[in-house]
Amino acid sequence: MVGEKKNSLLIVDDESANLKVLSHMLSHEYIIYTAADGINAIEKAKELKPDLILLDIIMPVMDGYTTLSELKKNAETHKIPVVFITGLSSLENEEKGLSLEAADYIAKPFSAAIVKLRVQNQIKIVNQMRTIERLSMIDHLTNIPNKRSFDERLSMEWKQAIREQTPISLLMMDLDKFKNLNDTYGHQKGDFILQSVAQVFQQSLRRPGDFVSRWGGEEFVVLLPNTPIEGAIEIAERIRIDTASKDYVSADETVLKTTVSIGIHSLVRVTDNSMHSIETFISNADNALYAAKEAGRNKVMVFQSPI
Domain ranges of the chain: 8-136, 147-302
pLDDT at site 273: 64
Cis peptide before 109 (omega within 30 of 0): yes
Q: pTM above the 0.85 mark?
A: no
pLDDT at site 269: 80
pLDDT at site 40: 96
pLDDT at site 306: 56
pLDDT at site 89: 67
pLDDT at site 271: 73
What is the CB neighbour count within 10 angstroms for residue 168? 25
Topology of the domain comprising 147-302: Alpha-Beta Plaits (3.30.70)
- Three-state SS for 107? strand
pLDDT at site 90: 65
Cα(221)–Cα(206) distance, integer angstroms: 16
pLDDT at site 1: 42
pLDDT at site 2: 47
Positions of the chain with pLDDT lower than 50, given as ranges: 1-2, 274, 307
pLDDT at site 278: 92
Per the DSSP assignment, residues forming a β-bridge with 105 are: 84
pLDDT at site 275: 56
**Residues marked as catalytic:** 218
Cβ neighbours for 113, distance < 8 A, ≥ 6 positions apart: none
Give per-residue pLDDT as tens, 223-257: 999 999 999 999 999 999 999 999 999 999 999 99
The CATH class given to the 8-136 domain equals: alpha beta
